[in-house]
Chains A and B, each alone.
Chain A
Amino acid sequence: MTMPAVAGADAALLRTEGLTRHFRLGGMFSGRQLHAVDGVSLEIRPREIVALVGESGSGKTTVARLLALLYRPTSGRIVYDGRPVDRLRSRRDLLWYRGQVPTVFQDPYGSLNPVFRVSHGVLRALQLHRPELSPAARQAEAERVFETVGLSPARRLLRAFPYELSGGQRQRVGFAQALAVQPRLILADEPVSMLDVSIRIGLLNLMRDLRDQAGVSILFITHDIASARYLADRMLVMYGGHLVETGPTEAILGAPRHPYTQLLVASAPDPRQQLTEPAGALAAEPPRVIDPPDGCRFVGRCPVAVALCAQRTPALTQLAPEHHAACWVAAAAASGERAQVAQQVLER
């Protein structure tokens, strides 16, 4: 599956080509493979917030871990700033890359070391990634990033232990650590899902401000399309390890093309709207990702599936400017070729 070339593709800050990660299951001689991520080609441009949306098990966290070089891809490439990075091995190279592309994790309770003051993580990141700074300059820089993420007064909060901070504050420490290394892209894996509703918005606003003021790009991984819409310029929708729809946020939510995206949009709770019954199977079994057969992974739940869908995997196809979907039926509908798809099916 390849993503058709789009205008300005060379301007991508980070780009993947056919990124794939399989995990072997069972014992040494077991041939069973779990296809966590299959053929994902995506790009993130400078100063852009991209949301990666999908249900649990769709492979979105595996994508984040691949991009953070915590997993090695089974196949495919990761290109950062024009340079392939998926084979980086040396400590110096990894340090460089992780300084450019730090990660903020989901669990603000588990990702800070409880026995150190929160200044420890920030100062250590500064020491590793910006060794030219003197200790005094490191302290000043730590205070600056704490103030930037809304941890004020920075001097006092830097001396706090994680248990003294609320969940929202801890997650801000995570962003402060990421910001300290002067990143160009922050990978944020479900950064708000464990926070209270009233505190989430503050963090979402913080991410937007970081983009607007510090100029970083953000890959925002979430299962919540409402916060994806609130924050993101573009959306990538994953299902069963495949990218099934990509495009500008408003274009996707205004006119979702892939049946899974349609189901997702229809399922989002919205008290301002009447309840409508979404089409498609809400409670069907999860997609088959262990030794999956060819074909669309959503076929078992899809309300509009045709025979072709179970035979050949649809590729991402441009259906509107910048708006791609991997769906035979949507592609046929877009080009008025519904009859042609039916024809193809009959021929097989």
Chain B
Amino acid sequence: MAVPLLDVRDLSVAYLSEAGDVGAVDHVDLAVEAGEFVALVGESSCGKSTLVFAIARLLAPPAEQTGGTITFRGEDLVHLRGEALRHLRWRDYSVVMQSAMNALNPMKSLEAQFGDAMRAHEHVSRSAIRQRTVEVLRLVGIDPVHRQSYPHQLSGGMRQRAMIAMALLFSPSLILMDEPTSALDVVAQRSLMGQITQLQRELGFAVVFVTHDMSLVSHYSDRLVVMYAGQVVEAAPTATLFGRPLHPYSRGLFDAFPSIRGPRTRLTGIPGSPPDLRRPPAGCRFHPRCPVVMEACRTQAPRLADQDGTLVRCLRYPGSAAT
């Protein structure tokens, strides 16, 4: 098998605190092929955003990577520092944040801030900046007259599009997206998702897409990675996972959102709330909320194991119980 575009191995990230370290990401493996759309799904505090920040090398104290490797296009990202990292970042991979209103500079027009990003990497003329700004705005479906607009003059959907345009300035091979659509209403959300996948087809970049809403990515992602309490609990091709979710947590998530079609039945959601990661539960981290918990789950931590092509971390499957 070829070397994946992004290869995260055994990555751990902790938030250091006096009351005890919070293990936000716990021994996570994640491989992303060129051009692939991988969705990271889970509740708040499951570690999905921290994982993306770690990959982007944006962790700031008190967060600290405590183990593992991140290899991007064969280069070890963990040990890149200063200039070398700066050179790679944004040119080869870029990040789209959750809240575009906070991620864009309110004091600068789109063209001015796009220019800043370009000048950080190369000497470019004003006309080159203007030309590229117009190009990327066209790509995301924003009328180029808005290159002179300030963020507050754009609607929420347009701001998110502008963020994506900015992420495309250098034709990167990987774009990390942290809940880019969660501030939008369904129609704008739907339109943005369609646009991201269309751009992906045209330009061939890979996407790591973080979301808490499984249903949102169901039609767009190639692979789904479900995280719970800092760990990957299930990973599979999207269709496989939606067709037959194996982990009780994935099943719970799947049953947690009402449908707009079909019979109206009472749903139950997942009772309880995610654990305190300073003191994660013994055994399986999901066992206090699990509807099909067994005695062994309280003491034995399951391994992530292959079950017919799906990786799953649950003692109900034979591979997970092996030590």
Contacts and interface: CB of A to CB of B under 8 A. Distances in A.
Are A and B interaction partners? yes
Interface of A: 55-56, 166-169, 196-202, 204-205, 223-227, 229-230, 250, 253, 263-265, 267-273, 275, 278, 282-283, 285-286
B273 interface: yes
Chain B residues touching A, range: 35 or more
Given A271-B214, A271-B242, A283-B191, A265 B269 contact: no
A198 B264 contact: no
A268 B120 CA distance: 40
B187 A199 contact: no
29 contacts: A55-B186, A55-B187, A166-B273, A168-B273, A197-B256, A198-B253, A198-B256, A200-B256, A200-B269, A201-B257, A205-B267, A225-B260, A227-B258, A229-B258, A229-B259, A229-B264, A230-B258, A230-B267, A264-B187, A268-B186, A269-B213, A269-B219, A271-B218, A271-B242, A272-B259, A272-B261, A275-B219, A282-B191, A285-B155
Contacts of B270: 198-199
A55 B215 contact: no
Contacts of A198: 43, 252-253, 256, 269-270
A196 B43 contact: yes
A283 B154 CA distance: 13
A201 B189 CA distance: 21
Contact of A56 (B156, B191, B212, B268): B156
Interface string B187-209: 11111001100000000000000
Nearest to B255: A201
B218 A269 contact: yes
B256 A201 contact: yes
Given A265-B260, A269-B186, A271-B218, A201 B194 contact: no
A225 B186 contact: yes
A270 B190 contact: no
B101 to A, nearest CB: 13
B141 interface: yes
Contact of A197 (B189, B253, B259, B261): B253
Contacts of A268: 186, 260
